[in-house]
Structure formats: structure tokens, C-alpha cells
Amino acid sequence: MYQAGPDGPIIMGKPQPAISQTAHELHFRSLVIDTHVDTTQRLLDDDFDLGARHADGSIDIPRMREGGVGAIFLAIWIRGTVTGPEAVRRALEQIGAVRREAELYPHELTLATTADDIRRARAAGRIAILIGIEGGHMMNGDLETLREYAALGASYLTLTHTRNTDWADASTDRPLHGGLSEFGKQVIGEMNRLGMMVDVSHASDKAFYDALAASHAPIFASHSSCRVLCGAARNMSDDMIQALAAKDGLIQINFHMGFVSQEFRDAERAHPEIDRQIEEEITRLCGENAACRLLESDRIIRQFVGEGKLPVVGREEIIRHIDHAVKIAGIDHVGIGSDFDGAEMPYGMEDASRLPWITHALLEKRYSEDDIQKILGGNMLRFMESVATAARSMRGTTA
Ligand SMILES: [Zn+2]
């Protein structure tokens, strides 16, 4: 169904044009930052080698190189049902797994936490890897644990995953706290002081507005798309995107087929048996192995698409979301947070090597080179710097 051709990829039997030389050059001289991938789950598998090119999944060093990736945020993630000290233990284990990659590949990767770290990695010809904690449940209700994560190099905390935490409501759970609890607001304050970025992807609308009001620093959505184009509860409404931008925040567009295409969502909803079949099949094949579950569910969904039970979602959908967010929020407030290795990617955007196409498509839409560079990573660098500046001013230091 998908194979690399001499020109562009072949999608469902149709060859795609190669990207233009101008796009290629622009892309490879830009700092490309992807603020959310779930590859960490694969790193837990001793047999997985990030340095080798893989036929499955979306991320490894060779394909990041082919895609011109300058920096990537690896999510630390465990199911929301795992809580307490066990959640902390597993989060620390995953942080350790990410840090180990930088040690294993010192000529390819650099562990980074700041915008300057990313620029330095780039100057040295390395890919910056950063850490994001995807879900406040991994804090175990303890600010000291949050401080420990920050000290180990975690750059952001996503307030919730798909379930509520003890202090924040998730967009895909029944409201429990009416947004953020008082402790939740304290968490935001501590993140501001530590210079950790507040990530509102997955949070409920009310939790988003509460976080926006409580935060002294700009906040961002590390991997969310536009709800007006695709009605997933965890996508952002136009009002939310504009409120985020008004406080100098960012929306980093998620590529997942079910978050960018309403047609795909409708088809999934019309066939609830597909979800059940996938659940049964991945449980049979993978048990609780999260990396295996993600890869297998992607494979099975593509099988359903091949059989015509689910629609083909093309990579143009990603551009539609970027373009909409730019129109309503302004060019300074949009970027990319693919969700590679954690979601189903549109056809033609199967892995990191396909990222230069984004630059090609934006040029075709008559975006200026400066504007494209902002979307690819410039906005994220500015955002990281403003979060760091806010932290310094809260701590009353200049360094
Ligand atoms: Zn997520």
C-alpha cells in the first residue's frame, strides 16, 4: 500500500510527485522540531535499536536524518490506570531509557532541555532529544516528584492523559474537578518556577482555561489539532486556540488520522466492531506491551483501510489543520507535534522521513520561507525561551 518510489511515495497505488528542490533546501536548513512522539515505548524493548533503520514504526535515527529532524520530544507515558509509586517507578524507568540513547549515540543525539541546547545540538550536527511527561498521574500528587523529573531533564508535563488525574480533568473522561483543582493550580505555579512547559493536550476545555489563567508563562498543546475541522474532544476549539495564542502559546498540530479527518472519525463511529476487533487482536498479540499494541493497531487499521472499511486519510489533512490554526491564531502560534509511534499516521506521512513534504506543501500554499520556518520549529524555540524567561523572573534571578 505504501512504498518509497524513485520520486515521491506511492500512496494506494498512486505515485506522488517528488518534493521540489526549493522545498528540500529550505527544509534542511530549517530547525525542525517535533514536540510529541511516543517512541519511548519501543526503547523499553532491549532488542530495539534506535540507530538502525526499521521497516515498522515511524522513528529511528536514520529516518529522523532523512526527515531533517533537529529536535524531538519523547513522551514518557504509562496508562492512566497505573498510579501511585508504581507510576513514578515506571516514569523514571522511561526517563532512564531516553537518557541512555543519548549515551549510546553521542555523535547522533544530544539530550536537551533549552532552546540553546537545541541550537547547539544542531551546530554540532546532532539531533536534540527532549523529554515530555505525558500525564500528571506520574507525579503521584507530589511536587517533589515533579521537581525530580525536571532535574532529570523533563521539559514539559502534559496535565492529563485520557483519564482525569487527582487534580485535573481530561477531555475524554467525566469531569471531576471542574477543570483544575486548587492543587492543580499549584502544580502550574511550580512548573512555571521550574521552567517546565505546561502542556494542555488531552486536558478538558475547563482545565485548559484554568491552566491558561493560572500560568505566569505561555502554555502550549504539544500534540493537538483543530476541533472545528475534526470533532475529537481532545482537539482544540477555535476559541481555545485563540485564547492560547493571545497569551503567546502554541498549538502543535497532531497528525493522527482520527484527529485530522472527520470522515475517518465518522467511519470509526459507524463501525464500533472495528475497534472491538482491534482491541481483541492486539491484546491477543501483545498483552500489555504498549509498543507492540501501538504498532499492531496501526497495522490492523491500515488493513481495514485497504479493505475499504475505513477511508484513506491523506497527508494533506495535516496541512489543512496547520493552515486553519494559522488563519485564526496567527503565524507565530502554530507548529508540529506528530504523535509518531503513538497514533495512526495519514498516508504519505508514515514516518519521520516524510517530514520534508510539510515544507513542500506549505510552499505550494504560498507560505513564505520565514513563515514556514516558524511552523517547523522557530515558534517552539521562541516559546521555550519565554517559558525560561518567566521562570527566571519568578525565581528573581537573571541566569
Ligand atoms: Zn497523547
Does the pLDDT value for residue 261 go beyond 50?
A: yes
What is the arithmetic mean of pLDDT over 343-351? 96
What's the gap in Å between 73 CA and the centre of ligand 1? Answer: 12
Share of the chain above pLDDT 90, in %: 91
Q: Whole-angstrom Cα distance, residue 15 to residue 35?
A: 30
What's the gap in Å between 399 CA and the centre of ligand 1? Answer: 33
The DSSP bridge pattern shows strands 154-158 and 197-199 to be parallel
The side-by-side arrangement of strands in the sheet containing 2-4 is: 2-4, 9-11, 14-15
What's the gap in Å between 338 CA and the centre of ligand 1? Answer: 10
- Which residue has cell 521537581? 147
Q: Whole-angstrom Cα distance, residue 149 to residue 8?
A: 41
H or E stretch including 166?
none
pLDDT confidence of residue 397 = 76
Q: Let me know if 75 is exposed, middle or buried by CB neighbors in 10 A (0-12, 13-18, 19+).
A: buried
Q: Give the pLDDT band of residue 9 (cuts 50, 70, 90).
A: confident
**Tens digits of residue pLDDT in 71-111:** 999 999 999 899 999 999 999 999 999 999 999 999 999 99
DSSP E strand boundaries for 136-196: 154-158
pLDDT confidence of residue 11 = 73
Q: What is the DSSP letter of 377?
A: I
What's the gap in Å between 20 CA and the centre of ligand 1? Answer: 32
Does the pLDDT value for residue 215 go beyond 60?
A: yes
SS3 state of residue 47 = coil
Q: Whole-angstrom Cα distance, residue 276 to residue 287?
A: 15
pLDDT confidence of residue 398 = 64
Which residues, listed in sequence order, are joined to residue 24 by a DSSP beta bridge?
none
What's the gap in Å between 161 CA and the centre of ligand 1? Answer: 6
What's the gap in Å between 224 CA and the centre of ligand 1? Answer: 8
Q: Whole-angstrom Cα distance, residue 383 to residue 245?
A: 11
What's the gap in Å between 25 CA and the centre of ligand 1? Answer: 31
pLDDT confidence of residue 14 = 75
For 311, list phi and psi in degrees, rounded to 5: -75, 155
Does the pLDDT value for residue 1 go beyond 50?
A: no
With CA atoms as reference, report the closest residue to 278 among 289, 292, 293: 293
What's the gap in Å between 223 CA and the centre of ligand 1? Answer: 7
Does the pLDDT value for residue 254 go beyond 80?
A: yes
Which residues, listed in sequence order, are joined to residue 133 by a DSSP beta bridge?
76, 157
What's the gap in Å between 115 CA and the centre of ligand 1? Answer: 23
What's the gap in Å between 339 CA and the centre of ligand 1? Answer: 7
What's the gap in Å between 120 CA and the centre of ligand 1? Answer: 28
What's the gap in Å between 65 CA and the centre of ligand 1? Answer: 24
Share of the chain above pLDDT 70, in %: 97
What's the gap in Å between 252 CA and the centre of ligand 1? Answer: 12
What is the arithmetic mean of pLDDT over 335-359? 97
What's the gap in Å between 201 CA and the centre of ligand 1? Answer: 7
Q: Whole-angstrom Cα distance, residue 223 to residue 339?
A: 7
What's the gap in Å between 134 CA and the centre of ligand 1? Answer: 7
What's the gap in Å between 321 CA and the centre of ligand 1? Answer: 17
pLDDT confidence of residue 399 = 61
What's the gap in Å between 202 CA and the centre of ligand 1? Answer: 7
Q: Give the pLDDT band of residue 7 (cuts 50, 70, 90).
A: low
What is the arithmetic mean of pLDDT over 205-219? 98
CA 227 centroid distance within chain: 17
With CA atoms as reference, report the closest residue to 221 among 239, 238, 208: 208
What's the gap in Å between 162 CA and the centre of ligand 1? Answer: 8
Q: Whole-angstrom Cα distance, residue 372 to residue 366?
A: 10
The full 3-state SS of 60-114, as one line of letters, equals CHHHHHHCCEEEEEEEECCCCCCCHHHHHHHHHHHHHHHHHHHHHCCCCEEECCC
Cell (9 digits) for 82: 497505573
